[in-house]
Amino acid sequence: MPVDFLASVVLDGPQVIPYWDRIKEHGLTVLPIVGSIAAAKYYFRGASNTWERDMHGKVYIVTGGTSGVGAVLAYELALKGAQLVLLTRRTNDLWLAEYIEDLREKTNNPLIYAEECDLNSLYSVRKFATKWLDNQPPRRLDGVICCAAESIPRNSQRQITVDGVEKQIGINYLGHFHLLTLLEPSLKVQPPDRDVRVLIATCSSQNLGDVDLEDLLWENKRYPVSQPWKLYGSSKLLLGLFAKHYQKILMAHERKDQAPCNVRINMVNPGIVRSPSTRRFISMGSLWGLLLYVLMFPIWWILLKSCSQGAQTFYFGLFAPIIMKLEGGNILQECKINTKVRKELLDESLQEKVYHNTTELIKKLETQSARERNKNKTPEQLKREKDEKLKQQRDLNVKPKSDEELEQKLKSLRSQIGLGMGGATTTTKNASGTVEELPLFPDDEALKTAKEARHSSGSSKPATGSSSSKSSAGKRKTKKT
């Protein structure tokens, strides 16, 4: 059809174009306008990524993968065959179930899962990270993409997270800080031939943010109702400082295999995107604002990027080989590394202090929240939790997290195989009244000696005594009563 049309324009002349007379009449006025719109649209769409990488078999954790840029990224990565673990506020949600099902169907990729990790709550983040780290053998992880964010519109009152922190700082900064630092063992344990790339979404509004070491989380300062972007910007600036210092920590880690650090953490600025959060921000969360946004849509269409255009720099961060050749902690923008950064991002001592202070603040907040949670629990709930914890501690299939837990598990193992309730060793009295310790896995000779000792001392059960998790099988210790 277009070929036919073009052929008739060439052969029969431009008068075959509909409304040609009017075009001829107003063309000189209309053409520059259309040209300018096209040029502006082309300019504001930003740079496009030109790198490709095979994503089959790679595993990514994605926050904010249900909306805006994160959703486009999830779709593209799934299309390329990556396995995705989308962290969402909740998982018992019909909309989410359909979203995942739809994504799997459209991308022909069944390896897309949702896990609960509400960045609004440090406890929820810890629960997810613990579950992830508990997995044996350690799970494959090729990267973490942090796209989730909260941006509060102008003239809204201060909102707080479950832990009582201002929402933008709490979700954007604290939640991601907690998630990534808890995942540190998983990041460090990945084989050396694996490129592990962590991308954290940032925003130009970080230039409006502030870092106040005495009040990192804006707990004491007045909440700027008419300028909430100051907190949004601060959350992104803090994330940048965190990324810088965290990269240093990972670089300094000495791997058992002596291989160099294979994790790179970078910030990605997607530009201004026509995403749900931008719409909410521009419309100020009101119906009138939404109406205005819809009426002005042609302007947003020209000036703002689509989510897919916003995702381009994320692809650059995930696919470009140069990322692994540099140290990390960079800001990626328009598919290149932005070298013009705020002075705080060059201040290593400030970055270290921010990291340290935030770690301390998280400890404090987690303790406070745990107390609050316990206060609101019924005695039955507390008992059930205690029993559950005890069961976990004794479960031999779960890796012990502390020496104490190891001890518990050894006790449980000993009792299961009928070796009394000692720890790694158990004690028994011999004929001369000396208490002897039995190893956890006694050989025939050790068992025979213990039996003789029990017979001669007249006791039917081995006496439980001191235990040591470090004693090894076949090794005997003797101690005087």
Ligand X SMILES: NC(=O)c1ccc[n+]([C@@H]2O[C@H](COP(=O)([O-])OP(=O)(O)OC[C@H]3O[C@@H](n4cnc5c(N)ncnc54)[C@H](OP(=O)(O)O)[C@@H]3O)[C@@H](O)[C@H]2O)c1
Q: Which residues are catalytic?
A: 236
**Size of the residue set binding ligand X (CB under 6 A):** 26
Label each residue of 395-436 as H, E or C.
CCCCCCCCHHHHHHHHHHHHHHCCCCCCCCEEEEECCCCCEE
Q: What would the DSSP string read from start to end of 265-318?
A: EEEEE--SB--HHHHHHHTTTSHHHHHHHHHTHHHHHHHSBPHHHHTHHHHHHH
Q: Which residue is nearest to ligand X (CB)?
A: 68
Structural contact between residues 124 and 63, judged by C-beta atoms closer than 8 angstroms: no
Piece in contact with ligand X (CB under 6 A), picked from 45-53, 275-283, 364-372, 393-401? 275-283
Piece in contact with ligand X (CB under 6 A), picked from 135-143, 152-160, 267-275, 455-463? 267-275
Q: Which of residues 100, 148, 263, 450 is near ligand X by CB under 6 A?
A: 148
> Rounded to the nearest 5 degrees, what angle is found at the Cα of 85, between the Cα atoms of 81 and 88?
135
**77 near ligand X (CB under 6 A):** no
Site string for ligand X, 180-209 (x = CB under 6 A): ---------------------x-x------
- Residue 100 CB, shortest distance to ligand X, in Å, is 12
Residue numbers 79-98 binding ligand X by CB under 6 A? 88-89
Piece in contact with ligand X (CB under 6 A), picked from 62-70, 245-253, 340-348, 464-472? 62-70
Q: What would the DSSP string read from start to end of 57-101?
A: T-EEEEESTTSHHHHHHHHHHHHTT-EEEEEES-S--HHHHHHHH
C-beta of 271 vs 462, nearer to ligand X: 271
Query: 């075009």: which residue's tokens?
Result: 23
Structural contact between residues 142 and 60, judged by C-beta atoms closer than 8 angstroms: yes
- Residue among 39, 326, 32, 275 nearest 149 (CA): 275
In whole angstroms, give the CA distance from residue 70 to residue 250.
Answer: 25
Q: Which of residues 168, 181, 278, 428 is near ligand X by CB under 6 A?
A: 278
- Residue 188 CB, shortest distance to ligand X, in Å, is 24
C-beta of 205 vs 428, nearer to ligand X: 205
- Residue 303 CB, shortest distance to ligand X, in Å, is 11
Piece in contact with ligand X (CB under 6 A), picked from 128-136, 273-281, 323-331, 453-461? 273-281
- Interface residues with ligand X (CB under 6 A)? 63-64, 66-70, 88-89, 118-120, 147-150, 171, 201, 203, 270, 272-273, 275-278
